[in-house]
Amino acid sequence: MNFAFSLILVEVTGALLILLTFAGARRRFSAPEFLSLSFFAGAALAAYQLLSYYLLGINFDPRNIFFAPFILFLLFLAYYGLGSGRGSLGKFMSEAGYHQRWSLTERLLAAGIAVQLLWILFLVVPMPVYSHDAVANYALKAKIFHLAGGMPEGFFTWSETTVAHPDYPLLLPFLMTWIYAFSEFNDLAINIIMAAIYLAFLALFYSQLKKFFTRAYSLLIVFFLATIPQLADYATVIHADLLLTALVTCAFAYFLLYTRDLERNYLALSAILFGFSLWTKNEAVVFTGAFVMAFIALFFRIEPAGRKRVVIDMIILSAIIFIIAGPWLAVKAINNLTNSDIDFSLLTPQRLLQNIKDIPIFLNLFQQEMFGPKKWNIFWIIFFAAAIWKRKVLWKKESFYITLFIFLAAAGYFAAYMCTTGNNLYFYVNTTISRFMLHFSGVALLLLAYLMRDEVYDMKSFKERT
Amino acid sequence: VNKQKALKIIFAVWIILWIFFLAREDKDGQYSTLRYLYTHDSEEKTRYVMGGELYDFLISCRENMPAGSTYELSGFQEFSIDEVRARYFLWPLKSVSEKGEFEINYNEKKISLKKGANR
């Protein structure tokens, strides 16, 4: 019961944050978009708050933690109850307009998504925290913070013998700590947050797809996403990879919406989610870098008259990412936190040459992932087949930005593999490639959706267009 | 028409593989595990997931170390699932690489106070 209260409090806190952040903006949210964004905002705020408490020496006590939602609630009352936002709350949400009845195809797709979600819940409900990265890293950190009532002194200097990767971003452990603060330590129930992240991801992605495609086609795409075995598996274990995938995918989808008519609210949402991703996993640096490059490409592709606006937006975007990610990046810099797997001081020409020689090992493991149905069904086969078939449109219109983003981020990951120093390349690729491919799955699916749209729309069940 | 047929085949293959991998009894014994977990209390669940041998040994370790102790682990394959589960389970007893107050040897199922430790 307390756990449910904690989860609802994350949602409510995030909702208050979204309502206040976008107060006055002429932006309407659909219910799934608002609810899912609220969850991600609540999770990120929990991390932001606990890191601030660590810096200020404040105990992670429930009363102290409740301070943030309470202040947000007061601000909400002040603005929407007494201030200039009075009476404007209703305008925040999309009006319930004319709703077309769901076709049989749509109902079947929705049922398929529901079955997958229920199956995940069925798996996580009785399961204690058990997976390797959970007990070595994320769940252990949450247990440490909760039982110590804060971050113990010298935490960032602890060795791998005590806790894995003290340098990793802390959004997930902080979210768990925040929940434990209100529900007591319970590493049986905590797995459910992964199912919540999975649901929020699907809901937000669906609401974004509906801005691009028909409802039936959006449901088809979300069905494919929901039923990728690897994605569903990561919704049952406490790992940060699903959260990173969700944030990067949805952040980029907002950027894609921004490229249509340069609406700043979409850009702000994109920057906010990329900022959150930097709190989630170190790999987010690669995706954020690729995003900035895609934004620069936008500058060169639009009409010269619009370029001044894009430059201003670039400054806004950088400021948002800096404000959100800055505190964590500053803590990393102050504590001199470095990645134990990529140490540039150890990257000798010999080591680099050895990594290059081992590229066939990488390619072999990559093809095993690509063709193996256990983790990916036939997702990557469809993706690469469609990319080859539609190669002429890969670099056109909106597809251009997605292709560029995937290409740059993949190049970044490949470069990181080539710079690994701690262990041999086989070890790194073998232990990481499936989760790294997960990070790309949402954006790859977005590209696939663009590439196959016309063919699927020609089918009877998907004919209606928005 | 051929494109539509191809899309329908792709979709059918996807559905078949999805259901197969969703429902099959995998190598970890999905259904027997779930049946056990749904019918036992939280302590038994943890014991089942960790393995009885490891769980019982860690319980005895926890009972033999005073609060705030540090320990060194041995007898595990480095960073193996059993080793990281032991660290997680024993927290707030802290695993250290050197100068630990206790030594836990999983191979010998032995916990001992290290020489020179003040306990």
Please indicate if any CB of chain B lies within 8 Å of the CB of A371.
Answer: no
Give yes or no for A373 touching B (CB within 8 A): yes
Distance to chain A for B21, nearest Cα, Å: 7
Are A227 and B4 in contact (CB < 8 Å)?
no
Furthest C-alpha separation in chain A: 67
pLDDT digits (tens, 9 = 90+) for A361-412: 999 999 999 999 999 999 999 999 999 999 999 999 889 999 999 999 999 9
How many angstroms away from the CA of B73 is the closest CA of chain A? 9
Chain A nearest-CA distance from B116, in A, is 21
Give the tokens for residue A216. Answer: 């039936």
Judged by a CB distance cut-off of 8 A, whether residue A412 touches chain B is no
Closest residue, chain A, to B46 (C-alpha): A128
Residues of A in contact with B10 (CB under 8 A): 378, 382
Q: CB within 8 A of A63, min separation 6: which ones? A: none
| pLDDT averaged over every residue in chain A | 92
Lowest mean per-residue pLDDT among A36-45, B53-62, B72-81: B72-81
pLDDT reading at A206 higher than 50: yes
Token pair of B102, please? Answer: 């206790």
Strands B102-105 and B70-74: parallel
ipTM score assigned to the predicted complex: 0.92
Residues 6+ apart with CB under 8 A from A42: A9, A10, A11, A12, A13, A14, A15, A17
Q: With an 8 Å Cβ cutoff, is A123 touching chain B?
A: yes
Question: How far apart (Å, rounded) are the C-alpha atoms in residues A439 and A282?
Answer: 12
- Entry pTM: 0.95
Cα-Cα-Cα-Cα dihedral sign, residues A365, A371, A377, A383: positive
Q: What is the DSSP letter of A377?
A: T
CB contact under 8 A, A139 and B17: no
Q: Give me the torsion for CA of A403, A209, A276, A242, rounded to 10°.
A: -80
pLDDT above 90: residue A278? yes
* pLDDT greater than 80 at residue A24: no
CA A91 from chain centre, in angstroms, equals 27
The alpha carbon of residue B75 is apart from the nearest alpha carbon of chain A, in Å, by: 14
Q: Report the alpha-carbon distance of residue A372 to residue A354 in Å, rounded.
A: 27
- As a whole number, mean pLDDT of residues A240-268 equals 96
- Which residue in this structure is represented by tokens 């907002």? A254
A465 pLDDT above the threshold of 60: no
Measure in Å the smallest separation between the Cα of B114 and chain A Cα atoms: 18
| Sequence-separated (6 or more) residues with CB below 8 Å from residue B45 | A126, A127, A128, A188, B37
Tokens matching residue A300: 């060169």
Interface size between A and B, measured as CB pairs under 8 A = 89
Asked if the Cβ–Cβ distance from B42 to A143 is below 8 Å, we say no
Residue A97 — pLDDT band, cuts 50, 70, 90?
A: low
A428-438 mean pLDDT: 93
Mean predicted confidence (pLDDT) in A297-311: 92
Which chain B residues touch A129 with a CB distance below 8 Å? 88
What pLDDT score does A342 carry? 76
Helix (H, G, I), strand (E, B) or coil at A149: coil
Rounded Cα gap, residues A81 and A67, in angstroms: 20
Q: How far is CA A268 from the centre of its chain?
A: 15
Residues of chain B found within 8 Å of residue A121, distances taken between Cβ atoms:
none
Contacts of B88 in chain A (CB under 8 A): 129, 135-136, 139-140, 143
Give the long-range contacts of residues B22-30, CB within 8 A, separation 24 or more.
B22/A116, B22/A119, B22/A227, B22/A229, B22/A232
Q: Quick check: A422 pLDDT over 90? A: no
In chain B, residues with a C-beta closer than 8 Å to the C-beta of A340 are: none
pLDDT of residue A218: 96
> Is a pLDDT exceeding 50 seen at residue A466?
no
CB contact under 8 A, B38 and A382: no
What's chain B's average pLDDT?
89
